[in-house]
Structure formats: C-alpha cells, structure tokens
Amino acid sequence: MEDKSILLIVGGGIAAYKCLELIRRLRERGVDVRVVMTKAAQQFITPLSVSALTNERVFTELFDLDDEREIGHIRLSRDADLILVAPATADLIAKMANGLANDLASSVLLASDKPPLIAPAMNPQMWLNPATQRNVHQLEADGARFVGPETGEMAERDEAGPGRLAEVPALIHAIEEMTASDRSTRARGSPGPLFDRHVVVTSGPTHEPIDPVRYIANRSSGKQGHAIAGAAAKAGARVTLITGPVNLPDPDGVKTIKVETAREMLAVTEQTLPADVAVFCAAVADWSVAEQGDQKIKKKKGKPPPALKLVANPDILKTIASRKKGRPELVIGFAAETENVLQHARMKLKRKGCDWIVANDVSTETGVMGGDSNSVHLIRTGRHESWPELSKEDVAATLVEEIARELASTKRTAANSKSIRAKVDKR
C-alpha cells in the first residue's frame, strides 16, 4: 500500500473514534491519508485530532473559498487511489445511493471516478431496514464494495446485531484487497466468467437459542459454503455470503453477513435479493425452541429436566425457490444425507423446487461435516453426475464452473430466441 493515497470520509457515529487508529495504522504503512469529515462526524471526533495524525488539514465545508481555490472537491475525489467511507451512516449511504450532493462528503463521492469502499456502522434495525438494504444493493450494483458491518453489541444499551463498524485490521485488509484487485483486474484484462453476476451463498450452521446461554446447533464448519463464496468471487461475481456462526475468516472479495438463527438467515437472504444465483449450503436447523427462556433455565432439585418443545423453522431454500417474483435464475440446494443419498436428494430437489441439488453423504465415517474434503453428486432434473472425492475448494471451483456454463448457455438460448423472434417479426 506504500505511496497509495486514501481519501477517508468520516460520517457521524460513535464508531468515528476508530478512524483515529485506522489513520495511524495506514500512515505506518506509508499511505497518504486525506480526510473529509461530515458535520455530524465532528460531534464525535475533532478535525484537530485528525489533522494531527494525517499531517494535513481536514476538509469539512463544501463552500470554503480557500479549499476551492487550493484544491476543490473534484480534485479531492480524483487525487485519491481509493475513497473509504467509515463509518458510513444510513444517511450517507442513502445519499450515495441516490446521488445527493448537498455537503462536501456527498459531493466528493458523487464527483468520484472510482467506486468507493464503504464501511457501514449504525443501529441493527437501521441496517436491516429495507430502505437501507435497497440502498446497499443499489450501491453494490453501481460497483461499490462493502466491508462489514460486523455483528455484536451496540453502544446503546441492550442493542445487539449487525451494525458495528468493521475492526481496523479488517478495514486495512479490505483497503489492501481493493487497491490490489484494481491492479490484478487491470493485469488480468479479463473480468471472469461470472462478471456482473450477483451470487448469494448461505453457509455454516444456525444456532437456535434455548435461553440466553444455551443453544441447539449442528456440526457444519462453513468450509464448503465459504469455499463456494470465495470461488464465485474469484470468477468475478459480486458475492453475498450469509453465514451462521463459524470459526473461519471472511473469504476475500466477498460481502459477508453474519447471522445466528434460521429466521435471521431467511430475513437477510430475502433482503440480499435480487441475485442471479443462490447456493444454499448452510446446515439450517429444522427446528427452533418454542418458548425460549428470557433467563438461564435453572435446575430444580427433585424435578425432572425441562422438556424442550420445538417448532419448525422456515425453509429458506424452499421459500426462495418458490418465489413468483425475484426468484434467482439458478437456485441450488444441498442435501446432507446419511443413507440412500441419491434417492433422498432427488426427492429434495422436487420438494424444495430448486434447479440443482448437490448431494453429500454426511455419515460420521465420511468426515464431511467439518472436514476438508467432500464427495458430491450434482443432481439436475433427469440426470446426475458423481464427482470423485475432492478438497472443498475444488468442489467449489467445479461447481462455479458448472454455474458459469449454465448461465452462459441460458444467455445464449435467450439471445437466440430473441434473434429468431426478430427474424420472424421482419418477415
């Protein structure tokens, strides 16, 4: 990153304080940092402290005669190798998505000739609000990249969920990646077979709470789902990975959203649509606990252990596959079976209404759940193929090749029928 220049746009939020640490770490790496602060940001940190770290003046006003004479907001946006918005508030995201330019930060962003890197931070309800999610999708479609938000406790009491600003190492990693991917895309000269496609992948287990300290879970590690997300990103797709709790790093170049329960996974999956392809690799719990305790359930002397009453969770794959509007072009489910693998998987393909099923044997002796390799059968209506045992990365890469081939062939068919229709119309 040495000799790169970053324009950091700081929005108004409690997480703004993390920018001070970020600036310090970037400067250590030889990065030149210029900072624009919104009015609200100045309520949380002062331009003086920022300027002490950057060794530069901080830009705050759109109509500042000195600024306009010396540098101007157009040059401010063009001089930087990358614009990072952190923390990006719901308001800043809405302005960016809708092309508003009523202050220096939004004007710089609108005048920019390159997609920004956006690090959101806000209350979980604001982040999950359909309006914010619409704006996020719009920005992604326009080429912006997102890092975070992370899930966890909020500064507000009793609030938790997705909305925390990504930690400084994650921000630096995303900056490195974005400046490097810029170089590698230019070097490669090819955008990849899934360029311009949005691929949604679910991964990992879900945790279904019993009370504040206990939950029901399964043995999925997320290795297979994460590998698919990574392979799709390598093929040039814009990838959203929705994952249950796992101990894996977020795959490179992928927007990762962390959830806990099946219901959260469904809500987030629906919010990430539209997508061209959806791959449901998560081992979603089929049931959740009907009456979750608000407090830790206590052992009662002389009483039998409590009985857990379970209720069915929503079927995410089936819900998405049966959408009348906004169904992804290609919906792929997984089938985790322990006996009669092909037979059960074929029934699942039909019952869930998906286009393909990837079936795997998860009997204990196969070691597939949590392991590094997998033997899968790719089942489509009327045919199936069985692949040899492969690493999960190779299963992912092969599946992504199949996906790219399928999308290319449906595109060709659509183009052919269009040109046939045009010829018929001419006659």
Does position 281 bind ligand PMT by CB under 6 A?
yes
CA atoms within 13 A on the CB side of 335: 27
Using alpha carbons, select from 139, 135, 143, 75 the residue that is nearest to residue 111: 75
Q: Write the CA distances from 25 to 7, 179, 204, 209, 249, integer angstroms.
A: 15, 16, 32, 38, 21
Both structure tokens of 188: 């490669």
Please select the residue that binds ligand PMT; options are 80, 178, 254, 316, rule is CB under 6 A.
316
Residue of 55, 135, 218, 247 marked active site: 218
**What are the backbone dihedrals phi and psi of residue 38, each rounded to the nearest 5 degrees, phi first?**
-75, 170
Q: 244-277 burial by CB neighbour count: b if 16+ within 10 A, else e?
A: bbbeeebbebbbbbbbbbbbbbbbbbebbbebbb
Stretch that binds ligand PMT, among 48-56, 228-236, 310-318, 397-405 (CB under 6 A): 310-318
Residue 286 or 394: the one with the smaller Cβ distance to ligand PMT is: 286
**What are the backbone dihedrals phi and psi of residue 326, each rounded to the nearest 5 degrees, phi first?**
75, 25
Q: Contact at 8 Å (CB) between 82 and 145?
A: no
Report, in Å, the least distance between residue 306 CB and ligand PMT: 24
Does position 222 bind ligand PMT by CB under 6 A?
yes
Rounded Cα gap, residues 18 and 34, in angstroms: 16
Please select the residue that binds ligand PMT; options are 120, 163, 244, 333, rule is CB under 6 A.
333
Please confirm, yes or no, whether 218 is among the known catalytic residues.
Answer: yes
Both structure tokens of 201: 């992948």
Please select the residue that binds ligand PMT; options are 221, 240, 256, 261, rule is CB under 6 A.
221
Contact code string over 380-409 relative to ligand PMT, x by CB under 6 A: ------------x-----------------
Stretch that binds ligand PMT, among 58-66, 160-168, 314-322, 418-426 (CB under 6 A): 314-322
Does position 284 bind ligand PMT by CB under 6 A?
yes
Report, in Å, the least distance between residue 387 CB and ligand PMT: 13
Residue 81 or 276: the one with the smaller Cβ distance to ligand PMT is: 276
Q: Contact at 8 Å (CB) between 175 and 85?
A: no
Q: What is the CA radius of gyration of the chain?
A: 24
Does position 369 bind ligand PMT by CB under 6 A?
yes
Does position 117 bind ligand PMT by CB under 6 A?
no
Residue 151 or 360: the one with the smaller Cβ distance to ligand PMT is: 360
Does position 282 bind ligand PMT by CB under 6 A?
yes
Q: Using CA of residue 284, residue 285, residue 291, residue 293, what is the dihedral sign?
A: negative
Does position 289 bind ligand PMT by CB under 6 A?
no
Does position 341 bind ligand PMT by CB under 6 A?
no
The catalytic residue positions are 218
**Residues of this chain that bind ligand PMT (CB under 6 A):** 202, 220-225, 262, 280-284, 286, 313, 315-317, 333-336, 348, 352, 360, 362, 368-370, 392
